[in-house]
């Protein structure tokens, strides 16, 4: 796929989503159990998605791309009651990864759910326990963080920890991992609702395909009870 054409495709996917504003701005309508369900879905949709193999980039390496992740909300009726009439949370994002010494990679991302007030930023720090090679897979541990912005009624963030493995074959590098996501969800200015602290199990699988400088990745993720799918297109070198 031509990179320019691919970028256009991903951009069109983002802008083709519904344009009617659908904001989370009515949390006072929720009961405490409903608020917990909404928080669980947000934890699955907004927690950090790797969209990159475990293999470290190296000191001079970069991975830059645009991505879209889409999460099927398990509790869309609760979101509608809270003001956001959506059944999926599609998050276009810009992502940058940089290789550092000693098998360490750092990554940052910024994204939003179009037609809503849901915006977020986040990042990861990954250490390759095993760097990998011709015969050995790469094994790494990652710490991640995301922060919700744009929703005045909600202070929400996630922290994640996962262990992943990847192994390259020619231009293809499949990868997989397991971990945990901890979400903190605090309502602002709504006395009837209390803070929710969640612990969600996470499992993900993906494949990275490198065509020279052009890079394409696909990933499936299961966090808590919700399933997400993602794709990223960019440069990796």
Can you give the pLDDT at residue 236?
86
In the chain the domains, ranked by start, together with CATH numbers, are: 3-236 (2.40.160.20)
- Where the chain has pLDDT below 70, the residues are 1-20
Beta strand 154-166 pairing with 214-223 = unpaired
Backbone φ, ψ for residue 33 (5° rounding): -60, -40
DSSP annotation of 18: -
Can you give the pLDDT at residue 228?
98
DSSP annotation of 171: T
Contacts of 22 (CB under 8 A, 6+ apart): 83, 84, 85, 86, 115, 116
Can you give the pLDDT at residue 237?
84
Can you give the pLDDT at residue 212?
85
Can you give the pLDDT at residue 21?
73
Q: pLDDT digits over 163-193, tens only?
A: 999 999 989 999 999 999 999 999 999 999 9
Residue 39 burial (CB count, 10 A):
23
**Burial label, 212 (beta-carbon count in 10 A; 0-12, 13-18, 19+):** exposed
Residues in the chain: 237
Can you give the pLDDT at residue 20?
56
Rounded Cα–Cα distance for residues 191 and 42 (Å) = 21
């Amino acid at each position: 796929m031509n990179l320019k054409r691919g970028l256009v495709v991903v951009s069109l996917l983002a802008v083709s989503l519904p344009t009617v504003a659908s904001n989370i701005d009515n949390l006072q309508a929720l009961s405490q159990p409903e608020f917990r369900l909404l928080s669980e879905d947000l934890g699955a949709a907004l927690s950090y998605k790797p969209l990159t193999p475990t293999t470290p980039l190296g000191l001079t390496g970069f991975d830059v791309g645009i991505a879209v992740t889409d999460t099927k909300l398990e509790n869309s009726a609760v979101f509608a009651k809270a003001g956001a009439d959506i059944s999926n949370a599609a998050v276009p994002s810009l992502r940058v990864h940089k290789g550092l010494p000693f098998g360490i990679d750092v990554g940052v991302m910024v994204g939003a759910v179009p037609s809503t007030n849901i915006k977020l930023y986040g990042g990861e720090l990954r250490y390759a326990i095993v760097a990998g090679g011709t015969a050995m897979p790469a094994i790494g541990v990652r710490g991640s963080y995301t922060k919700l912005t744009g929703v005045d009624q909600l202070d929400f963030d996630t922290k994640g920890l996962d262990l992943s493995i990847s192994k390259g074959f020619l231009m293809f590098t499949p990868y997989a991992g397991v971990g945990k996501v901890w979400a903190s969800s605090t309502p602002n200015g709504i006395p009837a609702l209390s803070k929710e602290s969640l612990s969600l199990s996470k499992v993900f699988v993906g494949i990275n395909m490198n065509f020279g400088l052009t890079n394409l990745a696909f990933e499936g993720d299961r966090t808590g009870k919700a399933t997400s799918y993602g794709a990223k297109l960019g440069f990796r070198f």
